[in-house]
Amino acid sequence: MTTSEGADVTTDGAERHGPSADQTAGETLGPRAGPDTPASQPARVLIVAHRTAPTPRLLAAVTDRSRRGPSVFTLLVPRPYWDPDTEEAAAALELAAPLLEQAAGSQVDGIIGNSDPLVAVRDVLERAQFDEVIISTLPAHVSRWLRLDLPHRVEQLGLPVTVVTAEQSQRARSGKIG
């Protein structure tokens, strides 16, 4: 480790956003090369996650993406907005990296970013080129990133976005939280 328009929902719980002539409901065909990426080059995939970085649905999405074609992954963990001076982002990165590397079948680079997730993504995109973004969020009823409309705001930066939402707990589904 180194430090829409419409949404298609897939069987792994991921939603794929973005303009696409090669998407059909529930399926994305092949890696998408960016304008400066030859088709023979691996797709560069930016994963944006914090608490959900080591969750089963994100790991499944990374495995799925790596199986669709050559790809290299970078995990961006924004600092927590409630306490950006803590080491929580570093701990999340340290915990998730080996699991994501196993899912990807290769090394996953890691970056700790700004506490504003959109600013963090913009900062990374200014320094490096990526072909697509996977955003991993908490379930909708508790996700600050979904309330901020982060997936659509990142999509407006010109990259296709896949949203992976962590599975809701059984207690939350039954209404027994709180």
- The structural domains of the chain, with segments of one domain joined by +, span 48-169
Nearest to 162 by CA among 21, 2, 27, 51: 27
Q: Which two tokens stand for residue 119?
A: 């600013």
pLDDT of residue 86: 85
User: Rounded to two decimals, what is the model's pTM?
Assistant: 0.77
Q: Which two tokens stand for residue 89?
A: 């982002």
CATH superfamily label, 48-169: HUPs (3.40.50.620)
pLDDT of residue 40: 72
Mean pLDDT per 10-residue run, the chain (178 residues)? Answer: 38 44 28 50 97 96 97 97 88 96 97 97 98 97 95 97 86 53
pLDDT of residue 152: 97
